[in-house]
Structure formats: structure tokens, C-alpha cells
A and B are shown apart, each in its own frame.
Chain A
Amino acid sequence: MTISSGKDNAGVEYQEALQQSEERFRTLIQYSADVIQLISAEGHVLYSSDSVKRVLGYEPEELQGASPNGFIHPDDLPFFMEKFLALLQMPGEQITIEYRVKHKNGSWVWIEATGSNYLQDPRIEAIVGNFRDITERKHREERQQLLNEVSEKLASTLDHELTLQEITQVIVPAMADYCRIAVLDEQQQIRDIVANHIEPENIALVRELYEQYKDRVNSTYGLQTILETGRSELFTDATPEAVVHLLDENTAILPIIQALGLTSYMGMPLIARDKVIGAITFSSTQAQRHYTLEDVVFAQELARRIALTLDNARLYAEAQRAIALRDEFISIASHELRTPVTSLKLYIQVLQKQLNLKGEESLARSLAKMDAQLNKLTLLIEDLLNVSRIEHGKLEFCEDWFDLNEVVNETVEQIQTTTSKHRIRVEGRISQPVWGDKDRIGQVLTNLLTNAVKFSPQAEEIIVQLSTISDAVIVSVQDFGIGIEKGHLNHIFDRFHRVSDPEEKTYPGLGIGLYIAREIIQRHGGMLTVESKKGEGSLFSFTLPHAFETLSSDEA
């Protein structure tokens, strides 16, 4: 008895233990956040854990015998079937995939499903499916992607009208069924408004809606209100009736809102540097899409980026306008400055003739000095205009074959008249014609020689050397003056860089001569370089390609 009872006891205990264990596992499955399903080789649901109610809204019994076709998103179904059939061929193996399943309420739920093939296992004889709701994660990924796409569009251009239209094309359909972006002008009036609708034929309707209530300053909701108050709006459940109520019962817009089928709405201001510069609105027409506070936070981030770009575009346009205005001013000013200089020079020459006739030679010499100053003034005017032209790539060149020796001699002769202290010596000759703008090269030489005179007040000689290497000519100007400190050498070709020497003095000038000279030489395909030693002098050299061979083949 003891034994048998002991034996019976053991059997009962075993049964109980087994039951307890089963209970435990069932409970485990029931309480699991994941949905566990057993699926037949034909794809029919044999068993669902209770959690399916929480994830998909169905009672487990409702899904008994169901096949995937009615539940899986049509876009994901082919992929699902492919993987399912593959799994059938792999006993004991697992496959994990992601796809969308329809919730009982009609919305789509993203599922991460792990299927394990236990069809051959006599204890199970089914595919065991483990399903996890990953809608949140997918949502975040989609948002991030949207943000990336919008940022990319924003970064791609500074033409804001084009960009705004493109952005509405990303937002619809990803975040809205229709969407509007309005931008204010300097006077706080709506400058332009872009709209997009998931169905292009409805874009006009969206615009009409705006026309209908744009003047209703008293409305408590809408684009105009956001622009005025700078506050975000959220209207989770937007039935047409409720919308009209909020819009001061303006029933004129009811048919439009009904036609558009609004279900949910949110809007937020575009704020740049604490100023409302526009607004963006998102509207849903889908029963399942209702905006939440979380959506508003995301959309505000989107709005922040759009506002930043619009502000940058505005600043850029303003800068461009200012530059254009400055260039126009320089161009007009330089013309207007040259005209009085012209008559001034002519009158000086009239006076000179008369003084020379009367034998007033010292007065005539004073006039010659005035004339030389006017020539300097003319060069300065020309340089100002050149800087502006260079910056816009508008420096014009009139190129032809020319004799470089001639240009060098003419320039040297002219600069020699400005200095009695220095003797400018030319060494060497160029035997072939050079291709380029004769006047511009003359301008470079004038600049280098003027500098050589200016920066070697104690020296008596300046040497201009002409030489030819295989494919270029080299022109160098050597002075024996104050030289340039090493630290300055890299900057002397910078625009508006001026030499100021603490030990000596500040040398006058605009600091644009060498900048222009280097631009001119580079545009000719040559190089302008400098070697210098403090206290010993400077050597400026430039090269010009001498297309000698081209010339001879042209002649041949």
C-alpha cells in the first residue's frame, strides 16, 4: 500500500508537476508581450496567444484558421510569401522578417516576426511564430529618414521657393495628405505660399481653402493665426463640423473641408532669430492618421530646420544684392571720377603750354607734378574697378600676339619719368611674340615697377630681366629696397593687404595692386611669385606662356 500508494503518489506528483509546468508555460505565453502563433504548413493560424488582442485587436479565437492574405499589407505580401516558402524547406531553422499587418481598427502595425520550422517535430508539428510590435521603432526610423530627406533638400539650394515646393513633396505623403508652407515678407505680409496634396488635382482646393479664411483675423485656428501668434496648433480629431466651429462658424469653407476630407491637423510657426517668418501646416485625410503631441514635437524640429534655411537664403540674397549694388556703385563712381579728371588734365596741359610760352618754367614744372598725381589717381580708380571685376570674373581681356619687349620698354620709360633717384635697367630680350592682353600685362609691370620704386627709397637701381625657358617667358623686377619680412610673404598677394612696418613707416596704397597683378597673370596661364629678404630687396617674377610653336605652325 505504502509502496503502491507511494507509486500512485509519485504518479500524481508527476502529473501535478507536469500540469504545473504546462500552466507555467501557458501563463508565460499569455503574459508575453510578444504574440506566439502556431501556423500550419498551409499558412493557417492554429493557435494565437492572448497578447494578439493587445497587438492586433483580435481575440485569439477570431484568428483561428485565418490565412496571411487578408492581414498582410499588399506591398509586403510577396516578400512574406517568399520567406514563408523558404522556411518550409528548412526544418529546424529560423527566419526573421519585418512587415505590416492590419490591426482590427484598420491601421497598419509593423511586426518583427521570427518563424521557426518545427513541422517535423512530433511534439509541435507547426511553424512557431513569434511576433513583436515594432511600429514605434519603424515610425522613428521613418521620421529620421524624413528629416534627413528634408535636410538634404534644404542644403541643396539657396533658392527657397524651389526648396519649399520640394519639401512639401517629401512631407506629402510621408507625414500629411496635404501640406502648406507660407513665408512672410519684410512687412509681415504673406509673400508666398506653397501647397501640396496627395492628389495633385486637389492642390487648387487647398489654396482655395486658404483664400477663404486668410482675411479672418479672428479665427482661432489656421495658418493666419499661427503667423500672428507664433504658436503651434494641434487638432487631433478634426471633424468638418468642429473645424467650422473653430473657424467662427464660417460655413463657406465647410464644403471645401468636406471635399478635402480633413481628419486631423497640426501647424507650427517657422521661427528664425526669434521672429515668425512663416508657418507650416500638416493635414490628414486618413481615418487612421491622427496627429499627436509627439508629431507636433517632430514637426517643430522640421519647422526649425526649414526656418533656418529660409533665413540663410534671405541673408545670402541680401548679401548678393549688396555686392551687386556695390559693384554698380564702383562702376558708376569710377566713370564719374574719370570725367572731371579728364578735363582737369586737359586744363593743366593748357596752362603748361601757356606758361612755357611765357617762359615760366618752374610753374610749368609744378603743373607737371599735378599731372603726375592725376595719373596716380587714374590708376587708383582703375584698380578699384578691377577688384570689383575680378571678384565677379568679369575682368575682360583683349588678347592678341604682342611684342613683350615693346611693352616693357614703354612701361620702364614711363616709370623712369616718376623717379630721378633710380635708374631702371632692362636686361635681356624676348625673341618670340607673346599671347595676351598687352594693356593688362603693362598694368602688371607698372604695378611691380611702382612698388620697386616705392619700397627702395635708398636704392639707385632697379633691374628688369627678360628671359625665355622652354615653354614660357620670365619677366622679373628686382629692387634693392627694404624687402619683405618672411611672415608677410604669404599675404602680399591678398586683397587689401598693406605693408606696415613698425620700424619704419606705413606705406600708402589700397593694397590691391599685387592682388590684381596676380589675377591677371593667372588668367594668362602664368605665375607671379616673389623672393625677398628683409633689408636686401625683393624679386618679383612672372611667367607667360609663349605659344611660339603655335605661331610658327600658323605661319607654315
Chain B
Amino acid sequence: MSMEQQAKKILVVDDDPDILDALQMLLEFAGYDVKTTEKGEYAENLHDTNGGLPDLIILDVLLSGKDGRLICQKLKSQHDTKHVPIIMISAHPNAKRSVSAVGADDFMAKPFDMDELLAMVVKYC
């Protein structure tokens, strides 16, 4: 099976550039097509038309200047984006409850082991 054709697309949104950098390497290493952004706006304005949707979004809860949960809520309420699985991550371990309230598919508390995150990613795409 050829990776170039089958690679799943993952969008990672986090305001910490180092976390984005390391996650990108590890996810690419695991064979995913990874796009990262520090800007919540990019994720917020995702639509089926602008270059295709990712197969999974990993979304931080507290982005600088933006609440990741509002982005999640918006994407989950739009017809063309609501099927995209969203894993929310946060350094606030008790954010777990609030993310399920906005429709997130899963939650991972920071810091986490990459194996745990990969196991979760495999579940959704």
C-alpha cells in the first residue's frame, strides 16, 4: 500500500509551536499527512470547499485569544464539517467534561505519551 495515496490528513491546532513541531514529526513518522496551525481562525473557517477537509482534527482547548471549545462547537454544528472527528487536548485535566459538552469525540490530557495519542488517532481515522 502506497503511503502517498492513502495517507490520512490530520490538522493539529495548538498555540505552542514546539508542541506543533514535535507532534508533526511524530504523526508524520507514523505515516500521516500533517498540517499544523497556531491560529484558531484557520480551523474555525474550515469548509468542504477550500481544499478538502482533514480526516481528523487535534485541537487544543485554550488557544491564545480563542477558546478551542467554541471552534469545536462550530465545526460540529456545520453540516459539511460535523463528521470530521475532533480530539481535544488540554493541560487542564478537568477540561474533559467541558469538551464532551461541545461535541468533541475524545479528550487527551497534556502531557501524554505519543503511543496513547496514536492509539486514539487510529480509532478515528
Binding site for B on A (CB under 8 A): 334-335, 338-339, 341-347, 349-350, 353, 371, 374, 378, 382, 396, 398
Binding site for A on B (CB under 8 A): 16, 18-19, 21-23, 25-26, 29, 91-94, 96-97, 110-114
Interface centre among A334, A344, A350, A374 (most CB of B within 10 A): A350
Q: How far is the CB of B63 from chain A (nearest CB, A)?
A: 12
Contacts of A346 in B (CB 8 A): 18-19, 22-23, 26, 114
Interface centre among B16, B93, B96 (most CB of A within 10 A): B93
A341 to B16, CA, bound (A): 12
A461 to B93, CA, bound (A): 33
Cross-chain pairs A/B with CB under 8 angstroms, 28 sampled? A334-B91, A335-B91, A335-B92, A338-B91, A338-B110, A339-B16, A341-B110, A342-B16, A343-B18, A343-B19, A343-B21, A344-B111, A345-B111, A345-B114, A346-B19, A346-B22, A346-B26, A346-B114, A347-B18, A349-B113, A350-B22, A350-B25, A350-B26, A378-B111, A382-B93, A396-B94, A396-B97, A398-B97
Q: Which of A343, A353, A396 contacts B16 (CB 8 A)?
A: A343
Contacts of B18 in A (CB 8 A): 343, 346-347
**With A350-B22, A374-B111 as given contacts, are A342 and B91 in contact (CB-CB < 8 Å)?**
yes
A353 to B115, CA, bound (A): 12
A342 touching B19, Cβ below 8 Å:
yes
Q: How far is the CB of B69 from chain A (nearest CB, A)?
A: 16
A339 to B18, CA, bound (A): 10
8 smallest A-B Cβ distances: which pairs?
A: A346-B22, A338-B91, A343-B18, A342-B111, A342-B110, A349-B114, A341-B111, A343-B19
Contacts of B110 in A (CB 8 A): 338-339, 341-342
A349 touching B91, Cβ below 8 Å:
no
Contacts A342-B16, A342-B110, A396-B94 supplied; 8 other A-B pairs, CB < 8 Å: A335-B92, A339-B91, A341-B110, A342-B19, A343-B16, A343-B22, A349-B22, A398-B97
A378 to B110, CA, bound (A): 9
A271 to B113, CA, bound (A): 60
- Residue in B closest to A349 when the chains form the complex, CB atoms: B114
Contacts of A338 in B (CB 8 A): 91, 110-111
A350 to B26, CA, bound (A): 6
Q: Which of A335, A339, A349, A398 contacts B26 (CB 8 A)?
A: A349
Contacts of A334 in B (CB 8 A): 91
A339 to B16, CA, bound (A): 8
Q: How far is the CB of A217 from chain B (nearest CB, A)?
A: 51
Interface centre among A339, A347, A353 (most CB of B within 10 A): A339
Contacts of A350 in B (CB 8 A): 22, 25-26, 29
Q: How far is the CB of A365 from chain B (nearest CB, A)?
A: 16
Q: How far is the CB of B42 from chain A (nearest CB, A)?
A: 21
A346 to B19, CA, bound (A): 7
A346 to B108, CA, bound (A): 14
A499 to B93, CA, bound (A): 29
A338 to B25, CA, bound (A): 20
Q: How far is the CB of A355 from chain B (nearest CB, A)?
A: 13
Contacts of A382 in B (CB 8 A): 93
Contacts of A378 in B (CB 8 A): 111
A378 to B113, CA, bound (A): 12
Q: How far is the CB of A352 from chain B (nearest CB, A)?
A: 9
B112 touching A345, Cβ below 8 Å:
yes
Q: How far is the CB of A341 from chain B (nearest CB, A)?
A: 5
Q: How far is the CB of B76 from chain A (nearest CB, A)?
A: 21
A349 to B94, CA, bound (A): 25
